[in-house]
Amino acid sequence: MKTTFFIITIIVSLFSPVYASKNITEKDVKQALNELDMELSRSRTYVAARQSRIDSISALVDNIPAGSADQLPLLMELGNAYHGYLSDSAKVIYERGEQVARMNNVRDYEIRFMLKKLVNMTLTGFGPEAAQTFQTIATENMPDSLKVDVFSAGRQLYDYQASFYSSLSESSKEWQAKSIDMLRKLLEILPDSSEEHALRESEFLWATGHSSEAKIMLDEYLPKASDHPVLEAIAANIMAQIHKSHDNNNGQLYYLAKSAAADIRNATRETVSLHELGAAMFENGDLDRAHKYLNAALSDAVECNASMRMLQASGALPVIAEAHRSQEARARLWTSMIIVIMGILLFCLMMTSLRLRAEMRRMKELQEGLATANRIKEMYISQFLNLCTNYMDKLNQFCKIAERKISTGKADELLKLITSGRFAEEQSEEFYDTFDRAFLHIYPDFVNEVNQLLRPEEKIELEEGELLNTDLRILAFMRLGVDDSTRIAQVLNYSVHTIYAYRNRLRNRALNRDSLENDVMKIGHLGI
């Protein structure tokens, strides 16, 4: 950032009149919330309008010969229409645009599509991979117009990561610092006359502790942003955070409502303001609105397939707990236990999802360079998202069962249900089935080839209906490059000692005990 930027900011703050924005009253807040409720009731209309726009753009793309450079502007428009609406579809379109640009040697478009793809990867839970790729982009010889896209993508990517690690303060601060650095570089080259410059300047001021100056700029900017819902939503959210830091409850609620309403008008499902408003409404004792806003935020996150926002929107769980604290003492105790269990289950879900994603990434790396790699990757991502969605649905069903049994005084039945362990067993079975089918899709002859490495009397016999058993799964993870017994134990939910015992038993059954694991690594023809 040029030093003149700070000088101008200080001069403005010293010689401008004292900030005299509208004094937001409870009446203003009530009106803003009523307007938000009205927009929520119209959300289907806004979604239909956005889908219609997507369909129109898709039709235009289909009218152009596949692979033609003439498709590039429309593919970018189509991807942007999907962004924040259907994350997985946006990622597919951006990847398609990147391929078309590469085929036609249009480097600028190739970079822009890649940047958009990386941002969507972060939103869907692939943040570390996206950040690693982003850091390889060199900007030294880029024109400023392309640098704007790079720094803008970096700002958003790192900001998503900071939000994902919000519970880990140090990690969150590191990512936030990177986001601020991107924002600083963006402001250095962003034209002063652009619509985005004032917004990003105010965002930078707020992020660097100059909230008063940011407030002045946003107070002037917001009335001009009403025709741009995306920018309006961002600006209003920043203003809400400023009011929150100044303990201005009315201002926080008012601007969160304005931000959420702008998101709804734009049919944006990847949002943060609505669930922040739900949490704030709970703090203010409005349980009805808190429940409505949090449910809407979670529903949007699921529809958008934004795994990061799904985890953030799960803040509805503490709200459910707090709502039950008004009940009799015994009910409060059981509710607290349920919330703890829900938190544990949610954490297990997140860890299982992250582990599955890590293994899927390793499988992809093993197959890199093959012409069919993209088809394999898409298959794994689809199964992962389906698994996450199923887990979320079952978690929501469990919450409803818990609430119903507590309300009817059937706490003993609930405790019996919780301690049975059946829920965890079902999730493990579903994970094993998903892993077995995916792995055998790539290595269809794996079982036969493993048996060729074992003594005739020690060959593995699968029971009816089995795809893989524990012995074969351990060898499968080794074939995928996961040789660490600790990691295998974590994924399969066994002790490390048990995994060691299994591996030693397998070596004893082998034709060549010393080379079994190396021989397993040689298995391998891809079957797609």
Percent of the chain residues past pLDDT 90, beyond the cut? 37
Give the model's pLDDT for residue 6: 41
Burial 413-442 (b: 16+ CB within 10 A, else e): ebeeebeeeeeeeebeeebbebbbebbbeb
**Cβ-contact 50, 267 below 8 angstroms:** yes
- Environment class of 314 (CB within 10 Å of its CB; exposed 0-12, middle 13-18, buried 19+): buried
Total-model pTM: 0.57
Is residue 113 within 8 Å of 98, Cβ to Cβ?
Answer: yes
Report the top-level CATH class of 3-7+25-274.
mainly alpha
Q: Is the pLDDT of residue 313 over 60?
A: no
204-208, 279-283, 480-484: least confident range: 480-484
193-206, pLDDT tens digit by residue? 887 888 999 999 99
Contact 318, 346 (CB under 8 A): no
CB-based contact 35:257 (threshold 8 Å): yes
Looking at residue 425, its pLDDT comes to: 65
* Residue 389 φ/ψ, nearest 5 degrees: -65, -40
Q: Return the DSSP state at 139.
A: -
Distance of CA 305 to the CA centre of its chain: 8
pLDDT digits (tens, 9 = 90+) for 484-494: 888 888 878 78
Distance between CA atoms of 237 and 253, rounded to whole angstroms? 10
pLDDT in tens, 448-477: 999 999 999 999 988 888 889 989 999 988
Q: What is the pLDDT of residues 158-203, one digit of tens each?
A: 988 887 776 567 888 899 999 999 999 999 999 888 878 889 999 9
